Amino acid sequence: MDVEILSRMQFAFTIMFHYIFPPLSIGLAWLMVAMEAAYHRTKEPEYEQMARFFTKIFAIIFALGVASGIVMEFQFGTNWAIYSRYVGDVFGSALAAEGIFAFFLESGFLAVLVFGWDRVSKRFHMVATIIVACGATFSAVWIVIANSWMQTPAGFMIEGEGLYQRAVITNFWELVFNPSSVQRLTHVLVGAMIMGSFFVLSVSSFYLVKGLHESLAKRAFKIALPVALFFSLMAPFTGHFHAEQVAATQPAKLAAYEGHFKQTGEGAPLWLFGIPSVKEERVKYGIAIPGMLSFLVHGDFTTPVPALDDFPPEDRPPVQIPFQMYHLMIFLGTFNLALTGFAAIQWYRGKVFETRWLLWTFVFAVLSPAIANQAGWIAAEVGRQPWIVYGLLRTSEGLSEAVVAGQVLWSIIMFGLIYALLFSLFVYVLNEKIRNGPEPLTADGTEHDGFLDVATSRADPASPYKLSGMREPSSDD
Amino acid sequence: MDLNLLWFVLLGVLLTGYAILDGFDLGVGMLHPVAKTDKEKRIMMNSIGPLWDGNEVWLVTFGGALFAAFPEAYATIFSTFYNAFYLLLFALIFRAVSMEFRSKRPSRFWRGAWDKAFFVSSFTATLLFGVAVGNMMQGLPLVDRVAANIDTGNRIAERWISEGTFLELLNPYALLVGFLAVSLFVMHGSIYLYLKTEGDLQRRVHDWIWRTFGFFLIVYVLTTIFTLVRVPQAVYNFEHYPIAWVIVVLNVLAIANIPRAVYLGRPLYAFISSCCTIAALVFLLAIAVFPNLVVSTIDPAYSLDIYNGASSQKTLGIMAVIALIGMPIVLSYTAVIYWTFRGKVELGKFSY
């Protein structure tokens, strides 16, 4: 295999592994804000117990997000050196802004969020949770801006010739608000909120079907369900605006999403499902609504939509992967909406916690937004091919010349082994945390120290509990 | 001061911040085997528990800022150091997760395995940082294809290209600088741990301050001699800008103040002195290579410097605005967070 395929595989693999964690931490962070807010409003200790429980899980998710995220910051330089030198003037500033405005914020206040429960006032803790949620969101903002610039470059010009040639910035705000950044960002954030709320729904449904921590689980469920429903409802709208923008700015990509091979000069159909065949230039075994694609793009059923054969063969993206991933995302989005909608109706009828099959569905439904988020990105990134920067630089032109295939093969194998290990440990530890459940409350509403911790600290003369005169957990309540 | 110089300085600040902050993290990781009981091991890990993540962000931001300000250097350095760099990344990944996973299960095998991973990854990462610095000091076999009139035939290509192998990177001088980094961070970490621990563990850590200081002093003297012999271009700026000797003097004073402060029982001053030592060493590195980012060993004309490797003036200007708004905010809340976690380590429900 050549360096290009290997480098693309490595980038795809490392970014997909990384992307398990950021949407989960963004969505979960905002739900933890809601839990702490509920505590401050009601002074009901169970909400604090809930927030403390999800904090522990959040810490694991965040750590894996950081560990897998460092790789991404440097991979442009290691594997895509020509790309880096060509676009660094424009692309680099968004990445640096992410570091300065977002990473410091989230990682700094994460310390207070996770380790500060018994050290800072509850008010400060709530502020820290809000800041971590903002920081996680800001980092999504900057990285999505950087990605959007690769999809729809703006605010730059090409300077120099030959080996001096590169893109330089002309207008920073045009770069930030390039034609796809707002549409992409809203859709990505909606996806993150669905992910976070489905995660809380999954954990609380698990407790409900098992008959554990029922009161807390019901409360968590009731916080997460409205969020999940609202954002599942938003997703088709943000998705539609995003697709409209793709139709305007990257028509070849839309044609690939929709399996729209041939220009007929008439209204284009919308395939509900099918198997596109690039060889035969048609979609097989599928069902289509005639004229519907034209209607979604233009508002009427007869105006033509650019098809793949409107573009020279060397500029056409692959079709199979974008088509299937795009349709998978839409299918799962519909599933999310149907599930949360039905749950809301059951809630209204007062039956949601009695409908066991529904709760069981929620336990596993957390996979749906996780896969949908991945599928959406795969469609967006494969649909951008053969360009690394759309219309400007081809993926095959962006590689590092100093790197040979053997090196990339070595790093891919290592990533494969390490990430497989990390993922299994992540699932294992997550499972343990969820099975252990929230810590019990004391009478005054704070957690007990575990029996073993207390016992060992009393028996051990060098215990920090004794020597440092640790504050009692309740002292600042 | 022009924008290119400003960004050279700002990158120096980010690198200094990273070396000081993650320096004690990595040092604690390398001292971790000193802890005997499980409780001591947890205390050591939790001394950096709330802080290591924020400290590592300095490295990530350094990477982002290098990309934005000097994309040619970012592209050349990371593609040249491909193998070494991935080894470093794997070490950093294992470090992060070993802290996160270690205390999640009581099993001795589980904890022992993560303890080893924590030590090995901390050591590997530090050594590789030092090796990277050693190679930056010596320079790389770098060719500027434009200056050398090499036609690649491609529409666009890498302008600077270096053909060094992974084993060439591990040359004696680079390894010596690697061990300088190890000794420096271990010493720095031991002083930090002294501030954070109590009782028997603190007494043992106290002994380790002396040992690691001795180790550091030996490697420091060796590196100085080796640098003067092996890397003559490193003293070029000292000949032309005698003011640079001030840094050397400050460096020596800071090093000398460490044993003094430890002897007088003022560990906080010792810690500040070791922070100053690290800052001075990063400064010395910057002076040694300035105005180059990557020195060419083939022809000095092919070197990658802060002008031919930089982004446009407009980007450097925008980035300067971002840094001037962002960094004061970052520094102030970093101070708030360090203040929140001041004092001795306490193990609680949320500890590692």
Question: Per-residue DSSP letters for A10-32?
Answer: HHHHHHHHHTTHHHHHHHHHHHH
Q: Do A467 and B347 touch (CB under 8 A)?
A: no
Nearest to B344 among A59, A110, A464 (CB): A464
Q: Is A241 part of any domain? A: yes
Q: Is A135 part of any domain? A: yes
pLDDT at residue A456 tops 70: no
Nearest to B75 among A84, A99, A393 (CB): A84
pLDDT at residue A350 tops 90: no
Q: Is A308 part of any domain? A: no
pLDDT at residue A465 tops 60: no
Q: State the pLDDT confidence band at A442, using cuts at 50, 70 and 90.
A: low
**pLDDT for res A459:** 41
Search chain B and give the residue with CA nearest A55.
B350
Q: State the pLDDT confidence band at B346, using cuts at 50, 70 and 90.
A: confident
Q: Does A403 touch chain B (CB under 8 A)?
A: yes
Q: Do A402 and B158 touch (CB under 8 A)?
A: yes
Q: Please, which residues 311-350 of chain A have a Cβ atom closer than 8 Å to chain B?
A: none
Search chain A and give the residue with CA nearest B92.
A67
Would you call the peptide bond into A386 cis, given omega within 30 degrees of 0 as the criterion? Answer: yes
Q: Is A322 part of any domain? A: no
Element (H, E) at A427: helix A405-436
Q: Which residue in A181, A157, A152, A180 sits closest to A169, CA to CA? A: A157
Strands B142-144 and B160-162: antiparallel
Q: Is A403 part of any domain? A: yes
Q: Does A287 touch chain B (CB under 8 A)?
A: no
Q: Is A393 part of any domain? A: yes
**Chain B residues close to A103, C-beta within 8 Å:** 57, 60-61
**Chain B residues close to A437, C-beta within 8 Å:** none
Q: Do B345 and A464 touch (CB under 8 A)?
A: yes
Instruction: State how many domains chain A has.
Output: 1
Q: Do A73 and B43 touch (CB under 8 A)?
A: no
Torsion-angle region of A280 (φ positive above 0: left; ψ -120 to 50: alpha; else: beta): alpha
A74: which residues sit within 8 A by CB, 6+ positions away? Answer: B63, B78, B85, B89
User: B223-229 contacts: CB < 8 A, separation 24 or more?
Assistant: B223/B176, B223/B177, B223/B180, B226/B173, B226/B176, B227/B137, B227/B173, B227/B288
Q: Do A100 and B323 touch (CB under 8 A)?
A: yes
Q: How far is A39 from chain B (nearest CA, A)?
A: 20
Structure tokens at B130: 């030092």
Q: How far is B213 from chain A (nearest CA, A)?
A: 26
Cα(A30)–Cα(B44) distance, rounded to whole angstroms? 32
pLDDT at residue A467 tops 80: no
pTM of the model: 0.87
Nearest to B71 among A69, A89, A473 (CB): A89
Q: Which residue in A402, A446, A335 sits closest to A81, CA to CA? A: A402
Lowest mean pLDDT among A279-288, A407-416, B107-116: A279-288
Q: Which of B349, B351, B352 to mutate to test the interface with A (most CBs of A within 10 A)?
A: B349
Q: Do A95 and B77 touch (CB under 8 A)?
A: no
Q: Does A101 touch chain B (CB under 8 A)?
A: yes
pLDDT at residue A42 tops 50: yes
pLDDT at residue A470 tops 50: no
Q: Does A406 touch chain B (CB under 8 A)?
A: no
Inter-axis angle of helices A356-365 and A320-348, to 10 degrees?
Answer: 150
For chain A, give the percent of residues with pLDDT over 90: 41
Q: Do B74 and A84 touch (CB under 8 A)?
A: yes
Q: Do B146 and A164 touch (CB under 8 A)?
A: yes
For chain B, give the percent of residues with pLDDT over 90: 26
Q: How far is B164 from chain A (nearest CA, A)?
A: 9
Cα(A87)–Cα(B315) distance, rounded to whole angstroms? 11
Contact indicator for B258, B213 with CB cutoff of 8 Å: yes
Contact indicator for A30, A37 with CB cutoff of 8 Å: no
Q: How far is B279 from chain A (nearest CA, A)?
A: 21
Q: Do B83 and A114 touch (CB under 8 A)?
A: no
Q: For the residues A53-64, what does the mean pLDDT come to? A: 89
pLDDT at residue B256 tops 50: yes
Q: For the residues B268-285, what does the mean pLDDT come to? A: 91
A118: which residues sit within 8 A by CB, 6+ positions away? Answer: A446, A471, A473, A476, B348, B349
Nearest to A467 among B101, B159, B199 (CB): B199
Q: Which residue in A10, A50, A57 sits closest to A33, CA to CA? A: A50
Q: Which of A6, A100, A123 to mutate to test the interface with B (most CBs of B within 10 A)?
A: A100
What is the domain range of residue A128? 3-249+335-439
Search chain A and give the residue with CA nearest B96.
A67
Which residue carries 């957990």 as its tokens?
A473
The helix, strand and coil proportions of chain A, stated in percent and rounded to the nearest 5, come to 70, 5, 25
Q: Which amino acid is at A183?
A: Q
Q: How far is A462 from chain B (nearest CA, A)?
A: 6
Q: Does A397 touch chain B (CB under 8 A)?
A: yes
Give Cα A366 to chain centroid, integer Å. Answer: 13
Q: For the residues B115-126, what does the mean pLDDT come to? A: 93
Q: Do B61 and A96 touch (CB under 8 A)?
A: yes
**pLDDT for res A461:** 42
Contact indicator for A362, A202 with CB cutoff of 8 Å: yes
Q: For the residues A197-202, what does the mean pLDDT come to? A: 95
Q: State the pLDDT confidence band at B164, using cuts at 50, 70 and 90.
A: low
Q: Is A277 part of any domain? A: no
Search chain B and give the residue with CA nearest A429.
B104
Search chain A and give the residue with CA nearest B104.
A429
Work out the burial of residue A440: count CB atoms within 10 Å of its CB; fewer than 13 is exposed, 13-18 middle, 19 or more buried: exposed
**Chain A residues close to B198, C-beta within 8 Å:** 462, 464, 467-468
Q: Is A37 part of any domain? A: yes
**pLDDT for res A43:** 87
Q: State the pLDDT confidence band at A432, using cuts at 50, 70 and 90.
A: confident
**pLDDT for res B18:** 93
pLDDT at residue A471 tops 80: no
